Amino acid sequence: MQTKIVSKNFDIPHAEMLEVALQNGRYGSLEKLSTLKPQELIDLIKQSGLRGKGGGGAPAGVKWQLASDFEGTKYLVVNADESEPGTFKDRQILAKDPHLLIEGIICTCQAIGANISYIYVRGEYEEFSAILQRAIDEAYEKNILGIGSTYKVDITVHRGAGAYICGEKSALLESLEGNRGHPRLKPHSPEPEFYFGEPTLVNNVETIASVPFIVQNGAEAYRAYGTKESPGTLLFAMSGHVENPGVYEAEFGLGMWEYIQKLGGGVKKGKKLKAVIPGGASTPILPAHLVYEAKLDYESLRDLGSALGTGGMIVMDEDVSMVKALKNLLRFYRHESCGQCTPCREGTSWVDKTLDKFIAKTATHEDLEILKSVSRSMNGKTICVFAPAASSVIDGFLKHFESEFLECIV
C-alpha cells in the first residue's frame, strides 16, 4: 500500500543528521552523477516522466531543458513556500530528510548548469528552516557543497514573510529579488523563469527530492511505480475527519477511498464520508460518491472535475456544513489575495462578504446569483491562477452541494 521513495528514511531516528544520512544511502547518487553529462541528466528526467509535485504536475524535464538552453548565469530556486490549507508534505522532507533535498539540488544544478541555489521557505517554518540550515552547514563542512565538492553548488535558505501568493513561482522570484510578491505576466512563448534577468528553474521540494532515486536507479525504476501518464509516487497529506491524519507516500493511481481507509484509518468515529477536497484548498471538492471511484492521479481527478494539486486531502464527514466550509476557504482567499488584479482583489472580498448572509441565513436568491456571477468574473481574467482557483472552489461547492445554500435563503 505505502511505497517509499522520498519517505524511505522518514522513520529512521536522527536521519536529518549527516552521519545517519550517509549510513542510509544519502548522496549515493553522486557517484553515478559524475559519469553523466548535463544533457544526459535532463534526458533521464524526461524519460522518467517525473512531474512537478507542487500542484501543476508539469513535466519536470521540459522545464529543466528550458533553463538549460538559455544563455546566462543559471539559478535553481526550490519552492518550499508551502502555505496552502491542507498541504503539509514538503515540511516532512525538510524536517526528516533534508540531505535528500540537498542531494537533489546538486543533481539538478549539474543538469541545468547552475552553481547557485536558493530554497525559499514558508515564513512560518522557522523550526524546519533551522533543521535545513544545519544540514546545509554539515554538507559544507564535509565538502559535499561549495569549493572542493564534486560539483560546486552554493545553497542559501531564504525565509518568506508568510504570503501565500509567494508560492506562485513568479511572485516567489519577485519576493526573492526584494520586491513585493506580485505574480508576473506570463510570456507568450515557452521560456524559463528569470531571477534578476538570468534563466532560473523553479521546482518544489518534493520534485527535487525525487531526483536522486532516478539518477541512482534509472528512469525505468521510477516508472515501475504509478501510471503511464503519472509515473512514480507522491507524498499525500491527509487531514480532517480521519482516524490517522498524516503524510503517507503512495503510487499514483491508487484509489482515493482505499488510501483513506487503509492509511488514514477511515472516517473518524465511524461516521459517513460526505466529501473530500483532494489536492489542497485550491482544488474543487468531490462528494462521497465520486471519492469512491476517484484515483490518485492527475488524469483521473481531472476527468472527475477536480485536480490532484499537491495531494493534500481534506476529509469531511457527514456533519460538516458545506456553507461554513466554503466560508472558511473564502476568508482565506480574501486575506491572501495580493491585490494586483481587480477581479481577484474585489471578487474575493465580495464572495466572502456574500457568504456571511448564507451563514446568517438571511441570503436571497439574488445573493446566490451574485456568488455565481462573481465566480465567473474571477476566472481567467487575472495574471495568475489565484482567482481562478478560488472560482473553481466556489463552483465545486455549488455544483455538488447547492441544496445546502438554498436552505439558507429566506
Residue 1 has a pLDDT of 67
Residue 333 has a pLDDT of 97
Taking the C-alpha atoms of residue 263 and residue 331, their distance in angstroms, rounded to an integer, is: 31
Helix H or strand E encompassing 289: helix 288-291
Below-50 pLDDT ranges, the chain: none
Which of 350, 337, 349, 341 lies closest to 380, judged by CA? Answer: 341
Q: Which amino acid is at 336?
A: E
Which grid cell is 328?
A: 472558511
Taking the C-alpha atoms of residue 305 and residue 406, their distance in angstroms, rounded to an integer, is: 22
Strands 198-204 and 74-80: parallel
pTM: 0.96
Q: Which amino acid is at 371?
A: L
Q: Which amino acid is at 28?
A: G
**Same CATH topology for 233-316 and 322-406?**
no
Choices 1.20.1440.230, 3.40.50.10490, 3.40.50.720, 3.40.1190.20: CATH for 322-406:
1.20.1440.230
What residue ranges do the domains of the chain occupy? 18-223, 233-316, 322-406
Residue 49 has a pLDDT of 98
Q: Which amino acid is at 117?
A: S
Q: How many helices and strands in the chain, by DSSP H and E? A: 18, 10
- pLDDT above 90 as % of the chain: 96
Would you say domain 18-223 falls under CATH 3.40.50.11540? yes
Strands 312-317 and 273-277: antiparallel
Residue 188 has a pLDDT of 86
Residue 3 has a pLDDT of 87
Q: Which long-range contacts (C-beta less than 8 Å, at least 24 apart) are formed by 217-223? A: 218/44, 219/44, 219/45, 219/47, 219/48, 219/49, 222/5, 222/48, 222/49, 222/50, 223/48, 223/49
Which grid cell is 257?
A: 477511498
CA angle 64, 254, 269 (to 5 degrees): 125
Would you say domain 233-316 falls under CATH 3.10.20.30? no
